[in-house]
């Protein structure tokens, strides 16, 4: 077992070891068109790189959920209401629920969210070479790792 | 390393059953490529991959070394980054351990559990290993950490495919 993603093979593994997997990570992607389109794609790429790293690091205890996507042109309250629905489904199976996003609108709603919201401003990776990219993502990931492990240790 | 999404047996059974005969001819091509792919073969045969670490930089303290290589599956080639924990043991021998926990596959770290210094620690279900990779009884991992075969060329460390061990 080296991965825990939303693909049939991994889900089968998950069902076999469910009792050990108490954590879920859900990426939140705001989708924009027009002028903001590029920025919204960059943010999605950034979050994807991070969640992939988290998933690899903690395969045996967490599952990476498909992203929750919403339209940026709609009020954030609408997305919030939908996310509540997701939360209600997820909380039946997972003790720890993490939402990862670079959309700052969620910060204003942080108190209303159950689960842990992790907000990271997106960093445009385009101008970097591969090793700079790797170093940056690695650095950010290490910080995320400790957020997760701290939560786990806290709940022991 | 070498994680194939479809095993060869599964793949053959896909082409032989369920799919119409007219499809089978079309699917023979990718199957052949899949079967003889040299990158895939090298991976399974244990090719050594260069790491950015020099043997002279090693101490008795395990350090994290990341290394990248190309992995090809049936559809595309991608860069894969792996990690090893490397140190020199008391006899000066280089030891390179896989960080993949033998319980359920999380990544272990060196010396991060304050209550148990100088051990590898897995934060997922608090698995622990001694410095040589031996799993500590009473914690979840059933086996020692896998061991990479090591070579030194031009001063740099090269690693082969990590091998499972039943005891240390
Ligand atoms: S995955 Fe390491 S202790 Fe469970």
Distance from Cα B127 to the centre of ligand 1, integer Å: 5
pLDDT of residue B146: 97
CB contact under 8 A, B106 and A20: no
Task: Determine the distance in angstroms separating the CA of B168 from the nearest CA of chain A, rounded to an integer.
Answer: 22
- In a domain, residue A97? The reply is yes
The mean pLDDT value for A48-58 works out to 93
Rg (CA), chain A: 16
Q: Report the CATH fold assignment for B44-159.
A: Rieske Iron-sulfur Protein (2.102.10)
Q: Does A20 touch chain B (CB under 8 A)?
A: yes
Which residue's structure tokens are 């994807």? A48
Number of domains in chain A: 1
Chain A residues touching B105 at Cβ < 8 A = 1-3, 59-60
- Work out the angle at residue A52's Cα, subtended by the Cα atoms of residues A49 and A56, and round it to the nearest 5 degrees: 140
Q: Is the pLDDT of residue B25 over 90?
A: no
CATH number of domain containing A14: 3.40.50
> Is the per-residue pLDDT at A91 higher than 90?
yes
From B127, B134, B63, select the one nearest B101 (Cα to Cα): B127
In 3D, which of B88, B90, B79 has the Cα closest to residue B54?
B88
Measured in angstroms, how far is the CA atom of residue A17 from the centroid of ligand 1?
11
Q: Which residue has the higher pLDDT, B45 or A99?
A: A99
Do residues B124 and B101 lie in contact, with contact meaning Cβ atoms separated by under 8 Å? yes
d(CA B71, CA A114): 40
ipTM of the complex, rounded to two decimals? 0.85
For residue A85, tell me if it sits in a domain. yes
Confidence of residue B44 (pLDDT cuts 50, 70, 90): very low
Residue-level pLDDT at B104: 94
Q: What is the SS3 assignment for B83?
A: strand
Q: Where are the beta strands (DSSP E) in chain A?
A: 23-31, 62-64, 68-71, 96-101, 116-119
For residues A125-136, give the mean pLDDT: 84
Q: Which domain holds residue A107?
A: 8-148
The pLDDT > 70 percentage for chain A reads 99
Give distance in angstroms: CA of B123 to centre of ligand 1.
Answer: 7
Average pLDDT over residues A21-30: 96
pLDDT, averaged across chain B: 80
Q: How does residue B6 score in pLDDT terms, banded at 50, 70 and 90?
A: low
Question: Which atom of ligand 1 is least distant from the CA of A20?
Answer: 4
Give the C-alpha separation, B100 to A69, whole Å. 32
A152–B81 CB contact, under 8 Å: no
- Give the residue from A10, A11, A17, A61 with the most B CB atoms within 10 Å of its CB, the best one to mutate: A61
Neighbours of B19 (CB within 10 A): 12
Q: Ligand 1 pocket by C-beta < 6 Å: which residues?
A: A 60; B 101, 103-106, 122, 124-125, 127, 140-141
Query: Which residue, A59, A153, A148, is CA-closest to B107?
Result: A59
The DSSP element (H or E) to which A72 belongs, if any, is: none
With respect to residue A1, please indicate whether it lies within any of the assigned structural domains. no
Roughly how many angstroms between the first and final C-alpha of chain B, as a whole number? Answer: 23
CA B167 to chain centre: 18
**B7 confidence band (pLDDT: 50, 70, 90):** low
Q: Which of A9, A58, A130 sits opposite B106 (nearest CB)?
A: A58
- Residue B152: the pLDDT is 96
Q: Is residue A88 included in any domain, yes or no?
A: yes
Q: Which of residues 64-93 of A touch B (CB under 8 A)?
A: none
Domain positions in chain B: 1-41, 44-159
Q: What is the mean pLDDT of residues B30-50?
A: 53
- pLDDT for the residue numbered A26: 96
The yes-or-no verdict on residue B18 having pLDDT over 60 is: no
For residues B138 and A90, give the distance between their C-alpha atoms in angstroms, rounded to a whole number: 31
pLDDT over 80 at B40, yes or no: no
pLDDT of the residue at B68: 87
Residue pair A96/A22 in contact by the 8 Å Cβ criterion = yes
CA of B104, closest atom in ligand 1 = 1
pTM score, two decimals?
0.79
Structure tokens at A95: 């003790």
Distance to chain B for A58, nearest Cα, Å: 4
CA of B115 to the centre of ligand 1 (A): 17
Token pair recorded at residue A59: 């395969």
């Amino acid at each position: 077992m080296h991965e825990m993603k939303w693909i049939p093979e991994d889900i089968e593994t998950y069902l076999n070891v469910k009792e050990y997997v108490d954590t879920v990570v859900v990426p939140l992607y705001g989708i924009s068109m027009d002028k903001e389109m590029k920025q919204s794609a960059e943010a999605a790429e950034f979050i994807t790189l991070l969640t992939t790293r988290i998933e690899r690091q903690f395969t045996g205890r967490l599952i990476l959920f498909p992203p929750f996507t919403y339209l940026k042109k709609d009020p954030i309250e609408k997305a919030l209401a939908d996310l509540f629905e997701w939360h209600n489904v997820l909380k039946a199976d997972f003790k720890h629920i993490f939402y990862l996003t670079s959309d700052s609108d969620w910060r204003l709603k942080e108190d209303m969210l159950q689960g842990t919201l992790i907000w990271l401003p997106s960093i445009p990776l385009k101008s970097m070479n591969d090793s700079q990219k790797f170093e940056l993502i690695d650095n950010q990931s290490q910080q995320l790792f400790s957020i997760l492990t701290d939560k786990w240790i806290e709940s022991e | 390393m070498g994680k194939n999404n479809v095993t060869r047996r599964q793949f053959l059974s896909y082409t032989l059953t369920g799919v119409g005969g007219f499809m089978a001819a079309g699917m023979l091509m990718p199957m052949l490529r899949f079967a003889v792919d040299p990158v895939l073969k090298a991976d399974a045969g244990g090719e050594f991959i260069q790491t950015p670490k020099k043997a002279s930089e090693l101490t008795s303290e395990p350090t994290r070394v990341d290394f990248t290589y190309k992995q090809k599956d049936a559809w595309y080639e991608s860069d894969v980054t792996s990690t090893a924990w490397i140190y020199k043991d008391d006899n000066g021998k280089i030891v390179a351990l896989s960080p993949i926990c033998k319980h359920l596959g999380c990544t272990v770290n060196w010396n991060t559990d304050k209550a148990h210094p100088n051990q590898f620690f897995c934060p997922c279900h608090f698995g622990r290993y001694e410095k040589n990779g031996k799993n500590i009884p009473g914690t979840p991992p059933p086996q020692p950490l896998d061991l990479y075969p090591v070579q030194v060329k031009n001063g740099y460390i090269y690693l082969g495919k990590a091998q499972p061990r039943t005891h240390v």
